[in-house]
Structure 1
Amino acid sequence: MTSKKVIELFYDVVSPYSWLGFEVMCRYRNVWNIDLKLRPAFLGGVMHGSGNKPPGVIPNKFMYMTRDLNRLSEYFGVPLQPPSDPFEAMFNKGSLSAMRFVTAVQATEKSGDEQVEQVSRELWRRIWSEDKDITEPASLAEAAVKAGIPESGIKELLELSTSKEIKDKLKLSTQEALDHGAFGFPMLVCRVDGKPEMFFGSDRFELLAHCIGEKWLGPKPDKTAAKL
């Protein structure tokens, strides 16, 4: 049995394309011979650090994105529904508090990323399916409850999320994404022939599969098909 290839997924819940990449990689975690590492990071920091511009400041790009998400929702089987004011949700309110909260969950998880996965999914669901807030402590607490985190531990997580330790941890993850060449999310990093390779976006899975010697079986793989 060959050792599993480690794939790091850098993401931010404010990014709908990150949700697509997240769900696909979670589906392939038990199909491909990979060890998926979730890397919550801050998209705003990556955009600033790379000099990239958000789609909201380019009208044609923003209009295309809203149409594109409807098609992608059906294709990937992810319940994407843009919020009533995407620009407000994505760029004015942002996701810093949400990503600090996700980072706090990851910092306290004893093994694996199960709680990180569930909390991230619930935050995506709030902003990109239910048109709800992801910035207020009450909103984060609600997402955590739906993710299965005991209410008794949520207050501690909220307090931890504002600590210097967690702020620094999120900054480090964001800087590591930039060091890999990130200019947006989702970003996947794996090692091919001993060298790190970066793949950006939710439309590079077929190329990723080719580079790691696996088969791309579409956005909703049948686990049995991977053995054919």
Structure 2
Amino acid sequence: MSTQKMPVDRPKVKLEFFFDCLSPFSYMAHAVLARYCGPDGPWRDRVELELRPCLLAGLMSQTGNLPPMARPWSTAMAKFHRQDFERNKKLFNIESMLSMPSNFFGPEGPMDKSGLSRDFRLMRLLTSIHATQSELPPGTLYSATSLAFQLLWRREDARDQHGNVLLTTDVLRDLCEQSGMSREISMAYVEGINSPPVKSMLLNSVGEAVDRGAFGAPTIFCSRHIDEEEAIFFGSDRFEQLSFTYSLPWYGPDPHRSNYLPSKI
């Protein structure tokens, strides 16, 4: 893999990643960013990554967007979506990714509050960590985010015999502890996720994202200069376009996979 050195006077690209861990495409995009912006990633010295926990349900509600399975043509696209999901797992080199949790929606549909899509505690927890990350060990938000994605999309042991992911207080506390927090601090964060300030922070994140042009998750905002219009990228399949826009190296969704041929665009 060839390396491209960044000119000394070129500022880093500021990349804000608005995501919801319940979104499978947010998981795919996060996998790419973890590889490219990590310690041995090709963007490590060229991109300043900021994780921005958000709420997919809030983005869609405020913009009138609908989830794919709730659109009138969803039945006609079922075969495509099934094949597309399997192809993406291979393309993104995340073949151990699990299917959608059985309780993604409740028995009564997308608005059923018993479903994960209406359970906002996990994203409130990450929002609270984001807001106070300067008080926590470096990398806590990154670790907590990675663990949250794994909980929903990778861990078979996190699902019951019916394929449901159960978000209990113990599960959320363990996630915090595995991120590097003490048990006492972990409990404080979990106990605070239903507080008005934390709820407001998550809603404010949604409002900010919508005001800037977001309508779903993941949404990425990029800029290099303070006086330039920021660029917006939606979904997990716009990284090649992002790389082209900012003259960043691109080696496919997994830059460490040797059999990928870089695009000639």
TM-score between both structures, scaled by the size of structure 1: 0.87
Q: How many residues align?
A: 224
How far apart are the structure 1 equivalents of 2:230 and 2:244?
Answer: 15
Identify the range of structure 1 (67-76 vs 128-137) with the bigger mean alpha-carbon deviation: 128-137
Indicate the structure (1 or 2) with the bigger Cα radius of gyration.
Answer: 2
How far apart are the structure 2 equivalents of 1:86 and 1:166?
Answer: 25
Q: What is the root-mean-square deviation in Å for CA atoms of aligned residues?
A: 2.5
Relative to 1, partners in 2 of residues 1:144 and 1:112: Cα closer, same or farther, differing over 3 Å?
closer
* Structure 2 match to 1:201: 235
* Structure 1 match to 2:75: 59
How far apart are residue 68 of structure 1 and its match?
2.4
Cα deviation code 1:183-205 (max 9, x no counterpart): 21111101266111100011100
* Structure 2 match to 1:175: 207
Instruction: Give the conservation status (yes or no) of the 8 Å contact 1:83–1:129.
Output: no
* Structure 2 match to 1:81: 98
Extract unaligned runs of 5+ from structure 2.
Answer: 1-7, 160-164, 257-261
In the TM superposition, what are the counterparts of 1:1-228 in structure 2 within 5 Å? Answer: 1=8, 2-29=10-37, 30-32=41-43, 33-57=46-70, 58-61=74-77, 64-78=80-94, 79-85=96-102, 87-88=104-105, 91=110, 92-94=115-117, 95-110=119-134, 114-130=139-155, 132=159, 133=165, 135-191=167-223, 194-222=228-256
> Amino acid of the residue matched to residue 216 of structure 1?
W
How far apart are the structure 1 equivalents of 2:100 and 2:54?
Answer: 22
> Amino acid of the residue matched to residue 117 of structure 1?
Y
Instruction: Give the conservation status (yes or no) of the 8 Å contact 1:66–1:82.
Output: no
* Structure 1 match to 2:259: none
TM-score between both structures, scaled by the size of structure 2: 0.76
Cα deviation code 1:142-183 (max 9, x no counterpart): 322333332221110012222222111111111111112212
% identity of equivalent residues: 27
Instruction: Give the conservation status (yes or no) of the 8 Å contact 2:23–2:217.
Output: yes
> Amino acid of the residue matched to residue 121 of structure 1?
S
Relative to 1, partners in 2 of residues 1:160 and 1:198: Cα closer, same or farther, differing over 3 Å?
same
Deviating beyond 6 angstroms after TM superposition, the runs of 4 or more aligned structure 1 residues are: none
Extract unaligned runs of 5+ from structure 1.
Answer: none
Instruction: Give the conservation status (yes or no) of the 8 Å contact 1:11–1:186.
Output: yes
Relative to 1, partners in 2 of residues 1:143 and 1:65: Cα closer, same or farther, differing over 3 Å?
farther
**Higher helix share goes to which structure?**
1
